[in-house]
Amino acid sequence: MIDNCITTINSFSNPLQIDRCENTISYEVTQNLDAFTLIKMSNHCFNLYKNRLGNISEPTYEIGSLEYDSIHKTLIGALASYKPKNLSFSISSSNPSLHFIVRLPENISIFVETYINPEEENSTYLQILNDEEPLLQAGGTYTKCLNEMEDKLADIFPDVQKTYVAI
């Protein structure tokens, strides 16, 4: 059925919908974030929030910074092939943790939280959701969670050609 209200035009390769009845213009920006851009976004957030670790203690800052350095590179390296639409990072100071949110196409979201504790081994919690439905909940070491995430994503996106991204 033809909608007499809506006209679609292409503007800089993005479809722009003009709705004359509602008097609105809408468009969806299709972002393609490469590994280099994702690293820049992650580091931008880390620099903004890293003092939260320093305010707890020097060992927490040192361990947290080392963990961040390792986690953000391996996580982005593992996800870059899936064309992430967004990445965000923040730090919790109450029970110190490093917290990543990555949004992938097809309503897939990934939450990774690594708790920093100078007195014991760090532990990670990972969840993959399709919109609101949990597809994977994993806990334990970061490496174990990363492996489980990679296996699950290979199931979710069977057509994605996984390439190793060196960072």
Partner 1 sequence: MQAFPQQLISTKDNTKKISETISKNCTILRRTNLDEYLTPYDELDVELIRDIDLFRMSANVLLCKRDELGLDNKIKHVNIVVLEGENCKFNGENVISEAKLNKIKAELKETLILGFKIDVIENIKGPYILGKGTKKEEELNYNIRVTYDPLVLNCFHMESVIICSETGEEISRSKIKGFRKAIASDIKVKLMNKKRVEIYNYEDIA
Q: Smallest gap, in angstroms, from Cβ of residue 6 to partner 1?
A: 27
Binders in 72-91 for partner 1, by CB under 8 A: 86-91
Residue with tokens 């690293």: 39
Percent of the chain as helix, strand, coil, to the nearest 5: 35, 35, 30
Could you count the other beta carbons within 10 Å of the beta carbon of residue 52?
17
Could you count the other beta carbons within 10 Å of the beta carbon of residue 76?
24
Question: Which residue lies nearer to partner 1 by CB, 133 or 155?
Answer: 133
Q: Smallest gap, in angstroms, from Cβ of residue 23 to partner 1?
A: 26
Q: Smallest gap, in angstroms, from Cβ of residue 46 to partner 1?
A: 11
C-alpha to C-alpha distance for 150 and 79, rounded to whole angstroms: 8
CB of 6 closer than 8 Å to CB of 19: yes
Binders in 100-129 for partner 1, by CB under 8 A: 101, 109, 111, 113, 115, 123, 125, 127, 129
C-alpha to C-alpha distance for 106 and 109, rounded to whole angstroms: 9
Question: Which residue lies nearer to partner 1 by CB, 6 or 101?
Answer: 101
Q: Regarding beta strands 133-140 and 123-130, do their DSSP bridges make them parallel or antiparallel, or are they unpaired? A: antiparallel
43 belongs to the binding site for partner 1 (CB under 8 A): no
Which residue among 35, 74, 92, 167 contacts partner 1 (CB under 8 A)?
Answer: 92
50 belongs to the binding site for partner 1 (CB under 8 A): no
Q: Smallest gap, in angstroms, from Cβ of residue 66 to partner 1?
A: 19
Helix and strand tally (H, E) in the chain?
4, 8
Binding site for partner 1 (CB under 8 A): 41, 44-45, 48-49, 52, 86-95, 97, 99, 101, 109, 111, 113, 115, 123, 125, 127, 129, 132, 134, 137, 139
